[in-house]
Amino acid sequence: MNELVFSGLDGVLILSAYAVIMLLIGYFSGRGDKTLHDSMSNYYLAGKNLGFIALFFTLYATQYSGNTIIGYAPTAYRTGFAWLQSITFMTIIIGVYLLFAPRLYVVSKRLNFITPADWITYRFKSKAVTILAVLLMLWGLGNYLLEQLVAIGQAASSLTGGTIPYQVAVIAFVLVMLIYEWLGGMKAVAFTDVMQGLVLMVGIVLFLVGAVYLVGGNFAGATQFIAETEPAKLGVPDMMTSVNWLSMILLVGCGAAIYPHAVQRIFAAESERTLKRSFSRMAWMPPITTGLVFIIGILGIALIPNLNEAGSEQLVGLMANEIAGINGFFYWVMIIFFGAIVAAIVSTADSVLLSFSSIVSNDIYSRFINPNAPERKKVLVGKVTGVLAVGILLWIAWYPPATLYEIFVLKFELLVQVFPAFVLGLYWKRMSASPVFWGMLVGAVIAGVLTWTGHKTVFGVHGGVIGLAANFLIAVVGSYLVPVTVTEEEAEDLKKIDLA
Region 98-123: what's the mean pLDDT? 92
Region 430-452: what's the mean pLDDT? 91
Region 245-269: what's the mean pLDDT? 90
Buried b (16+ CB within 10 A) or exposed e, 304-315: beebeeeebbbb
Going by their DSSP bridges, the two strands 461-462 and 457-458 should be labelled as: antiparallel
500, pLDDT greater than 70? no
Nearest to 335 by CA among 346, 320, 348, 318: 320
Write phi, then psi, for 457 (nearest 5 degrees).
-135, 150
Which are the contacts of 62, defined by CB distance < 8 A and separation ≥ 6?
259, 261, 262, 265, 348, 351
As a whole number of angstroms, the distance between CA 298 and CA 286 comes to: 17
Coil, strand or helix: which one is 50? strand
CA angle, 230 as apex, 228 and 236 as ends, to 5°?
Answer: 100
* Extended beta strands in 61-187, E state: none
As a whole number of angstroms, the distance between CA 394 and CA 53 comes to: 32
pLDDT the model gives residue 491: 59
285, pLDDT greater than 80? yes
Q: What percent of the chain has pLDDT over 90?
A: 35
Please say whether the beta carbons of 287 and 128 come within 8 A.
no
Please say whether the beta carbons of 153 and 407 come within 8 A.
no
467: confidence class by pLDDT, cuts 50, 70, 90:
very high
Region 33-59: what's the mean pLDDT? 88
CA distances from 257 to 250, 254, 315, 433 (A): 11, 6, 29, 22
Mean pLDDT lowest among 11-15, 48-52, 104-108: 11-15
pLDDT digits 0-9 by tens, 201-236:
888 899 999 999 988 887 788 888 888 888 888 877
pLDDT the model gives residue 408: 52
pLDDT the model gives residue 159: 61
Mean pLDDT lowest among 66-75, 200-209, 248-257, 295-304: 66-75
Region 326-346: what's the mean pLDDT? 84
pLDDT digits 0-9 by tens, 392-432:
888 877 766 555 555 555 678 889 999 999 898 888 888 88
Amino acid letter, residue 384: V
Which are the contacts of 155, defined by CB distance < 8 A and separation ≥ 6?
66, 69, 70, 169, 316, 317, 338, 341, 342, 345
Which are the contacts of 312, defined by CB distance < 8 A and separation ≥ 6?
74, 77, 78
pLDDT the model gives residue 484: 61
H or E element in which residue 426 lies: helix 425-427
Coil, strand or helix: which one is 371? coil
Coil, strand or helix: which one is 407? helix
Coil, strand or helix: which one is 462? strand
Nearest to 67 by CA among 386, 409, 391, 394: 409
The sign of the CA dihedral 71, 77, 83, 88 is: positive
Mean pLDDT lowest among 233-242, 283-292, 329-338: 233-242
Mean pLDDT lowest among 99-113, 128-142, 173-187, 481-495: 481-495
Please say whether the beta carbons of 129 and 440 come within 8 A.
yes
pLDDT the model gives residue 270: 93
pLDDT the model gives residue 332: 86
pLDDT the model gives residue 402: 58
347, pLDDT greater than 90? no
Region 377-401: what's the mean pLDDT? 84
pLDDT the model gives residue 465: 93
As a whole number of angstroms, the distance between CA 289 and CA 69 comes to: 9
Helix axes 260-268, 85-111, angle to 10 degrees: 50
Please say whether the beta carbons of 303 and 323 come within 8 A.
no
DSSP letter for 138, please.
H
pLDDT the model gives residue 278: 93
As a whole number of angstroms, the distance between CA 374 and CA 355 comes to: 20
Mean pLDDT lowest among 144-153, 352-361, 392-401, 485-494: 485-494
58, pLDDT greater than 80? yes
Length of the chain: 500
H or E element in which residue 391 lies: helix 375-397
Please say whether the beta carbons of 117 and 133 come within 8 A.
yes
Helix axes 328-359, 9-30, angle to 10 degrees: 40
Region 255-266: what's the mean pLDDT? 91
pLDDT the model gives residue 153: 76
Region 51-57: what's the mean pLDDT? 91
1, pLDDT greater than 50? no
Region 327-348: what's the mean pLDDT? 84
pLDDT digits 0-9 by tens, 116-174:
999 999 999 899 999 999 999 998 898 888 878 877 877 777 666 667 777 888 888 88
As a whole number of angstroms, the distance between CA 409 and CA 86 comes to: 12
Nearest to 268 by CA among 497, 52, 34: 52
pLDDT the model gives residue 438: 96
CA angle, 492 as apex, 496 and 42 as ends, to 5°?
Answer: 45
Which are the contacts of 452, defined by CB distance < 8 A and separation ≥ 6?
none
Region 177-191: what's the mean pLDDT? 91
Number of neighbours of residue 458 by Cβ within 10 angstroms: 12
The sign of the CA dihedral 286, 289, 292, 296 is: negative
